[in-house]
């Protein structure tokens, strides 16, 4: 499996037809997968498993309005749990576009750190991808996808990451990070719903 492979929105939309709209509007759909042999570009010197987290959310909000919300970097501060003390320090371009870079400050388990990311894909109003240039992970890609679902918007967050510290990170941090990622996106689910609906 290619690490950079994007989620297939049409297949996901077909799968979701079996769920009622009420379920989709009120329950965060989350999945977590560990994949042992990622194909990376460029390849890592030491093979490591990567983890894929996916959250699907149906928003009672037009597609363009949803994407516009995420086009404002300051909204990332608003939807991030307070415990992370997340703050945007710099943005390389006045408006987000492909190639835009950001520097954030946050706390992970109480430890302050900086996180630098780059927008590697920007396709409004359907998708954008951010990539960690430096930060707490060995590798981190976050794909944000949006598609029209009747008069609503289907939003899919897909995060693919590799933990730092090799075998040590895998043994001692994997479950803790999985729990933290789920908590962060569960928090985002309800804040985004409150702000956009």
Q: Is residue 154 included in any domain, yes or no? A: yes
Whole-angstrom distance, CA of residue 190 vs CA of residue 195:
9
Whole-angstrom distance, CA of residue 50 vs CA of residue 145:
20
Q: Is residue 48 included in any domain, yes or no? A: no
Q: Is residue 36 included in any domain, yes or no? A: no
Q: Is residue 24 included in any domain, yes or no? A: no
Query: Residue 113: which domain range?
Result: 53-196
* Overall number of domains in the chain: 1
Full pLDDT tens readout for the chain, 197 residues: 444 455 555 555 555 555 556 566 665 678 777 766 555 544 455 556 788 899 989 999 999 999 999 999 999 999 999 999 999 999 999 999 999 999 999 998 888 999 999 999 999 999 999 999 999 888 899 999 999 988 899 999 999 988 876 555 565 667 888 889 999 999 999 999 999 99
> How many angstroms separate the Cα of 101 from the Cα of each of 62, 93, 129?
27, 8, 12
Q: Is residue 105 included in any domain, yes or no? A: yes
At 181, which CATH number? 3.30.530.20
- How many other CB atoms are there within 10 angstroms of residue 163's CB atom? 24
Q: Is residue 25 included in any domain, yes or no? A: no
Residues 6 or more apart from 149 whose CB is under 8 A from it?
Answer: 13, 16, 58
Whole-angstrom distance, CA of residue 175 vs CA of residue 75:
28
Q: Is residue 65 included in any domain, yes or no? A: yes
Q: Is residue 102 included in any domain, yes or no? A: yes
CB 155 within 8 A of CB 59: yes
């Amino acid at each position: 499996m290619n690490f950079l492979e994007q989620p297939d929105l049409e297949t996901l939309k077909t799968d979701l037809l079996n769920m009622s709209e009420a379920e989709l509007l009120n329950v965060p759909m989350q999945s977590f997968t560990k994949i042992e042999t990622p194909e990376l570009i460029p390849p890592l010197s030491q093979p490591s498993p990567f983890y894929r987290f996916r959250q699907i959310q149906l928003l009672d909000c037009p597609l363009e309005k949803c994407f516009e919300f995420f086009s404002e970097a300051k909204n990332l501060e608003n939807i991030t749990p307070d415990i992370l003390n997340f703050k945007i320090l710099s943005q390389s371009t006045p408006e987000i576009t492909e190639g835009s870079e950001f520097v954030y400050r946050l706390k992970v388990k109480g430890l302050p750190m900086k996180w630098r990311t780059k927008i590697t894909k920007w396709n409004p109003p359907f998708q954008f991808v951010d990539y960690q240039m430096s930060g707490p992970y060995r590798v981190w890609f976050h794909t944000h996808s949006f598609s029209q679902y009747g008069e609503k918007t289907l939003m899919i967050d897909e995060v693919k990451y590799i933990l730092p510290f090799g075998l040590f990170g895998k043994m001692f941090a994997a479950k803790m990070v999985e729990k933290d990622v789920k908590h962060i996106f569960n928090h985002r689910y309800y804040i985004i719903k409150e702000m956009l609906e």
